[in-house]
Amino acid sequence: MTTTPARLLHHRAEGPTNAPALLLGPSLGTSTALWDGVAPELSVSHRIVRWDLPGHGGSPAGLIGPGAGIDDLGALVLALADSLSLERFSYAGVSLGGAVGLWLAAHHPERVDRLAVVCSSAHFGDPGPWRERAALVRAEGLGKVAESAAGRWFTPGFTEPRLLDDLLATDPSAYAACCDVLADCDLRPGLSGVRAPTVVIAGREDPATPVEHAREIADGIPGAALTELPRASHLAPAERPQAVREVLAAHFAPRERGSGTAVRREVLGDAHVDRAQAATTEFTAPFQEFISRYAWGEVWTDPTLSRRERSLITLTALVAHGHHGELAMHVRAAVRNGLGPREIGAALLQAGVYCGVPAANAAFAVAERVLTEMEEPERTERGRDGAQAD
């Protein structure tokens, strides 16, 4: 257990501090205990950070107030990650915690490496019932909500007393504020912009977020996979821990050195890699294999530097040597890695100081052309360079 400053979400950290980070988000009314059957095994290969919603578990209730939005919870998670020096992390969350993960992946793609959305939704239905529940809890506490919780959370015949006790111990005002978040939450417009590899897990007997909600998420996120769990309701990590654990372990499995092609695709995009592979000849094949194995399978997978940092270094090196074709390609990669035009411009300006004004002048022209193309998708493919070595 970790002692947490009063303005941060309470969290519990497990696993090696130098392992890839994996944040685990909770459902409304639960605590870090929701992940008790899943986290210990995942912590063998990951630095697990479970966190509590405001007013839940050990988190201060004052972190959230009436009328809060999903962005408020997302900002609290980012603040927690910053406090732990986690610039990039994978994320899995249940229900409200899953929605937070969707928001993070859509609005801060540079922070989220891989994503799992468990028994959740991009839109939690008509806001009316959520507002009614918030009003009830503010007026009468959590007693009535707790009476019906088992029916919403678990299949008939199953229960988890620890989680029900956690619900009764939750601060009513913070619980109600989380209901406000759910009432106004609509992440559907941003699903197509999620680039983190995503798996969606649904409980087939979940009345709170039915399988149709999971399918909507999986259909909306490019390349997302969907797993439906039989004999599972809303709190699947508690009811079917082994099944959830197996899906998450496979999805978040640390990528070994040598998985260069996958990383190459994530950074440069499928279209570029497909063109490079299609143009490969018997003569160039050894060099293509070398690039995938060494540059992408060894250097770019080293967790010492983030992909944002690697993009900045790469842009500078390409400016210095005047490799304008690959500079264009890596401007696109820098955007994919979370850098914006202002950050790219700042990097080119810095390069101008040390590489010379003519080099920076040419680089700004290349970058401006690429960024303009990326803002006009219909022109992008026509404007791209031919396949490069990277």
pLDDT band at 377; cut points 50, 70, 90? low
Listing DSSP states for 84-107 in one string gives TT-SSEEEEEETHHHHHHHHHHHH
CB contact at 8 A, 118 and 49: no
**Tens digits of residue pLDDT in 266-308:** 888 878 887 887 787 778 877 887 888 788 888 887 777 888 8
- Identify the residue whose tokens are 């959590």: 142
Query: Rounded to two decimals, what is the model's pTM?
Result: 0.68
Q: What pLDDT was estimated at residue 380?
A: 39
With a CB cutoff of 8 Å and minimum separation 6, the contacts of 196 are 105, 109, 112, 113, 114, 115
* 389 pLDDT above the threshold of 60: no
Spatial CA neighbour of 195 closest among 105, 280, 275:
105
Instruction: Give me the sheet containing 112-118, strands edge to edge.
Output: 11-14, 47-51, 21-25, 89-94, 112-118, 198-203, 225-229
| Pick from 40-54, 79-93, 269-283: least confident | 269-283
* Residue ranges in 127-256 assigned as alpha helix (H): 127-140, 143-147, 149-153, 161-168, 172-184, 211-220, 236-239, 241-251
347-365 average pLDDT score: 94
The burial of 113, by beta-carbon neighbours within 10 Å (0-12 exposed, 13-18 middle, 19 or more buried), is given as buried
